[in-house]
Amino acid sequence: MTIDAPGARPALSRLITVEPAKFGTSYWGRAPLVSRAAELGGSGFTDLLSPDAVDELLSRRGLRTPFLRVAQQGKVLPAAGFTGSGGAGAEIGDQVVDDKILRLYADGATLVLQGLHRLWPPLIDYARRLGEQLRRPLQVNAYLTPPGSRGFSTHYDTHDVFVLQVDGTKHWRIHEPVLPDPIEQQAWGGRADEVAATAEGEPAIDVTLAPGDALYLPRGWLHSAEAQGSRSLHLTIGIRSLTRYALVEELLQMAARETRLRATLPYALDPGDPDAIEPELTETVEVLRDWLTSTDPADVAARLRDRVWPASRPEPIAPLAQLDFAERLTPDSEIVVREGLRWRLVDEGADDVVLCLVGRTLRFPAYCGPSVRIALSGGSQRVGDLPLDDDGDRLVLARRLLREGLVVPG
């Protein structure tokens, strides 16, 4: 399976009306972009989520918190107001109760379906494809707003977002940041007064989104949205930012290896005295500068992998079908790497290779290394073509890759 099936439209192209290269240089992390349905091809987004799908999620899928939030007049309502027992045999107390949701929504509450990249099959697949294209972890929420209502006051996010208008229309007022490029620790609540004051001024963008329209907002841009004459349903795709501050955080963790940076400060030093701190600070900065010049990018990359890789999941696998396929495996069977799998293959001496995955490692005999690499490199592979000496070894390896969830039927 490929990231985008042959002939399919790349995931990002459904959301923007400029070429990806131009988007990357002119808009990514820099400026909002409004893309109209007609320019995007006019197909809309109901294949990803529709009002009927929302009804199904709220009434027939056993939805639980925190996969649903309810907001009214700018405040998130307590979950106890719309959840209850799952009934006989369920033994849970936080299942969404559809008639409670019905009353709240009818009274003007906004419904926020969260984590749909883990719940709803079309969005599971699309989010994985888009995340692969952007090389970033992401999340998908849906916002269902009654006519004339606004779920949240003006605020900013600490991650980039794509807004996909699915149903109805919504009026957006967008203002320039009060804090450019905020990181997660710099949420808008700490600047609520400044945000509110800025929101009183003229917006940088004043736009109404109709079905099939899309909006890109970099982190930090202030925004509020209000449904118009009918209900509004839109998707928000949140893109987890990877910043230079993330590099700094990893470098500071790595700096603990440097003995001189772990040195104790002088006896009886007054930490509140700038004159006493000045020589220690100067020496520390010099040591840190020297240490930074010797930093190996491979060490930083390894730490970033540990930070970023666990935030994304590979494509779903069907355990029963997977095991049945493994049992029926023949040299003519075809296998393909599980889409979205994160892996590195490392030689370890003359006897072994180690496959590094998210949260685990697997060890293989060194002679299996070329076959493992081929099997995981993309494109469907015939088991009988793996570079091993005989079909028995090929079947053993392929079955292990299937049972470990690394490949799927090709």
Q: What pLDDT is recorded for position 70?
A: 96
Q: What pLDDT is recorded for position 149?
A: 84
Q: What pLDDT is recorded for position 360?
A: 94
Report the side by side order of strands in the sheet with 381-382.
381-382, 334-337, 407-409
Q: What pLDDT is recorded for position 73?
A: 82
- Based on the number of CB atoms within 10 Å of its own CB, is 405 exposed (0-12), middle (13-18) or buried (19 or more)? middle
Question: For the domain bounded by 11-239, which CATH number is listed?
Answer: 2.60.120.650
From the candidate CATH numbers 3.20.20.70, 3.30.70.141, 3.30.2230.10, 3.90.930.40, the one assigned to the domain spanning 319-409: 3.90.930.40
pTM for the whole thing? Answer: 0.90
Report domain extents, the chain.
11-239, 244-308, 319-409
Q: What SS3 state is found at 277?
A: helix
Q: Which of 147, 154, 63 is nearest to 106 (CA)?
A: 147
Q: What pLDDT is recorded for position 75?
A: 87
pLDDT in tens, the chain (410 residues): 334 443 457 899 999 999 999 999 999 999 999 999 999 998 899 999 999 999 999 999 999 999 999 998 878 999 999 999 988 888 889 999 999 999 999 999 999 999 999 999 999 999 999 999 999 999 999 999 999 887 788 999 999 999 999 999 999 999 999 999 999 999 999 999 999 999 999 999 999 999 999 999 999 999 999 999 899 999 999 999 899 999 999 999 999 999 999 999 999 999 999 999 999 999 999 999 999 999 999 999 999 999 999 999 999 999 999 999 999 999 999 999 999 999 999 998 889 999 999 999 999 999 999 999 999 998 999 999 999 999 999 999 999 999 999 999 99
- Taking only the tens place, the pLDDT of each residue in 32-78 is 999 999 999 988 999 999 999 999 999 999 999 999 999 988 789 99
Q: What pLDDT is recorded for position 7?
A: 44
Q: What pLDDT is recorded for position 8?
A: 54
Extract the tokens encoding 136: 């970033």
Q: What pLDDT is recorded for position 90?
A: 82
Residues 6+ apart with CB under 8 A from 149: 108, 109, 110, 226, 227
Q: What SS3 state is found at 312?
A: coil
- Taking only the tens place, the pLDDT of each residue in 197-250 is 999 999 999 999 999 999 999 999 999 999 998 999 999 999 998 999 999 999
Q: What pLDDT is recorded for position 346?
A: 93
- Based on the number of CB atoms within 10 Å of its own CB, is 228 exposed (0-12), middle (13-18) or buried (19 or more)? middle
Per-residue CA distances from 178 to 150, 189, 194, 220, 349 (Å): 22, 12, 7, 7, 54
